[in-house]
Chain A
Amino acid sequence: MSLVRDIITIAAVSAGAFFFLAGTVGLLRFPDTLTRLHALTKADNLGLGLVVLGLLPQATSLRDGLKLISIWLLGLLAGATVSQLIARTARQGEPAK
C-alpha cells in the first residue's frame, strides 16, 4: 500500500514540477507583462495543486490533509489577487494602445 502511495506522490509532484517549469519558461519567453502573468498564474496554481495532491497520500491524518488543501486554497487566493493587481498596474503604465 505504501508503494502505491509513493508512486502517486512521485507522479503528481513530478507533474506539478513540470507545470512550474512550464510557467517559468512562459515567464522568460513571453513578450510582455500581461502574457507573462497569465502563464505564471495558470501554470503555478495548477502546479501547486498537483504538488498538494501528491502530498496528500503522505499525510498522516485527516487534519494534516485539510491543512495541505487549505495551503493550496490560500496560495490560489493570494496568487490570483496579486496577479490582478500587477496586471492593473501594468495596464495603467502602458501608453494607450
Chain B
Amino acid sequence: MSIAAAFEVALAAVVLGLGIWTIAVRETYSATVGFVAYGLLVALIWVRLDAVDVALTEAAIGGGLGGVLLLGAAARLRDAGPTAAEAPGKVVRVTAAILSVLTAAALAGAVLLLPDPAPTLAPKAVANASATGLANPVTNVLMAFRAMDTMLEKVVLLLAIIGVWSLAPDDAWGGHPGPRHQADPLGVLVFLARLLPPIGIVVGIYIFWTGANHPGGAFQGGAILASMWLLAIMAGLTDTPPVGRRWLRFILVAGPGLFLVVGLGGLWFGAAFLAYPPAQAKPLILGIEVAMILTIAATLGLLLAGAPERSVK
C-alpha cells in the first residue's frame, strides 16, 4: 500500500471516527464542535479528490459559516431543558440501526459496483470551454452549461431568507436581526474586527475574480465577504441592518434578478433562455458573477444573523 493510499485510509478513518463521536457524544455543544472539525477534515478529503473548488466551498460555507450557525444556536439553547427524557426506546433504536446499516451497505455496494470505465462529462466540458473563454471547468459548468441550476439556487437562497425573516415576532417586524453585540472597545475582538476585514475583503474578491481561470468563484468569495461582515457585527462595530430597508432588499434580489434578465435576453435576442452570445459570454458571465457575489455575501450574512428580534426605533 503506497503512502498516499495509507494517508487516504487514515483520513477516512479519522473522519468517520469524528462522525461517530459527533452522533454519540452527550453534550450538544461538544457535538457542534465535533461537526465543525468534521467539516474541515472533509474539506481535506475534497482536496484529495482533486475537487479544490468544492473543498473551498465546504471549508468556507459547510465548516466555517455552518459552524458559526450551529455554535451560536448551541450557545443560545444551552438553557433549554434536557430532552433526554424523550430518547427513543430500544425498539426504535434497533430499527434505526438496521435501517442505517442497510442504507450504508446499499451505498457501499453501489460504490463498489460503479461501472468501469467511468462515464464522464469532463471531455465535453473541456472541449466546449471556448464557448465562454474561462479556463476553470467548474465555473464554466456553473455559469454557462448549467446556469439554470445556479440561477434557481440563488432563488432558493432568497426563499430561505424570506423564511427566516417571516419568523420575526410582530413587534420586531422589519427590525434588526439578532441581538446587539457589545465588546470591549479596547479588547482583542475589536482589534481583530478592525484589522482583518480589509484583508478579508481583498482575499474574498481575489478568490471570486480568480475563479474564472483557477479554483475559486462567487460562492467561496461571497462566503468570505459575509464572514468579514459578521466579524464586524459580532465585535459591535456595526449593527445588523433593519430588514425592511430597500437597499438591503435590492442587494438580495440583484443576483437572481440580473441572472433572470440576462436569461430572458438570451431568449429574446438569442437561441434559448440563458444562451449567451459567444462574443459577449465572458463579460456577461463576469457581470452576473459580480451581482451574485454581492447577493451571496448579503444573504449568507443575514441567514446567520437570524430572524429580526429588535424593532426599528
Instruction: Find out whether the CB atom of A81 lies under 8 angstroms from the CB atom of B199.
Output: no
* A-B pairs with beta carbons under 8 A, tally: 15
Chain A residues with CB under 8 A of B25: none
Q: Contacting chain A: which of B13-21, B185-193, B280-288?
A: B185-193
Instruction: Find out whether the CB atom of B195 lies under 8 angstroms from the CB atom of A77.
Output: yes
Interface residues of A (CB under 8 A from B): 74, 77-78, 81, 84-85, 88
Bound complex: CA A85 to CA B196 (Å): 16
Residue in A74, A84, A85 whose CB lies within 8 Å of B199: A74
Residue among B192, B195, B196 with the highest chain A CB neighbour number at 10 A: B192
Bound complex: CA A74 to CA B189 (Å): 15
Instruction: Find out whether the CB atom of A85 lies under 8 angstroms from the CB atom of B188.
Output: yes
**Chain B binding surface SS class:** helix
Chain A residue nearest to B188 (CB atoms) is A84
Bound complex: CA A77 to CA B196 (Å): 9
Bound complex: CA A83 to CA B50 (Å): 33
Chain A residue nearest to B200 (CB atoms) is A74
Bound complex: CA A74 to CA B231 (Å): 15
Instruction: Find out whether the CB atom of B189 lies under 8 angstroms from the CB atom of A85.
Output: yes
Chain B residues with CB under 8 A of A74: 196, 199
Bound complex: CA A81 to CA B234 (Å): 14
New contact pairs (8) apart from A81-B192, A85-B189, CB-CB < 8 Å: A74-B196, A74-B199, A78-B192, A78-B196, A81-B188, A81-B189, A81-B191, A84-B188
Chain A residues with CB under 8 A of B189: 81, 85
Chain A residues with CB under 8 A of B199: 74
Nearest CB in chain A: distance from B194 CB, A? 11
Nearest CB in chain B: distance from A51 CB, A? 14
Chain B residues with CB under 8 A of A81: 188-189, 191-192
Nearest CB in chain B: distance from A74 CB, A? 7
Chain B residues with CB under 8 A of A77: 192, 195-196
Chain A residue nearest to B184 (CB atoms) is A88
Can you list 15 A-B contacts with CB-CB less than 8 angstroms, sorted by A residue number?
A: A74-B196, A74-B199, A77-B192, A77-B195, A77-B196, A78-B192, A78-B196, A81-B188, A81-B189, A81-B191, A81-B192, A84-B188, A85-B188, A85-B189, A88-B188
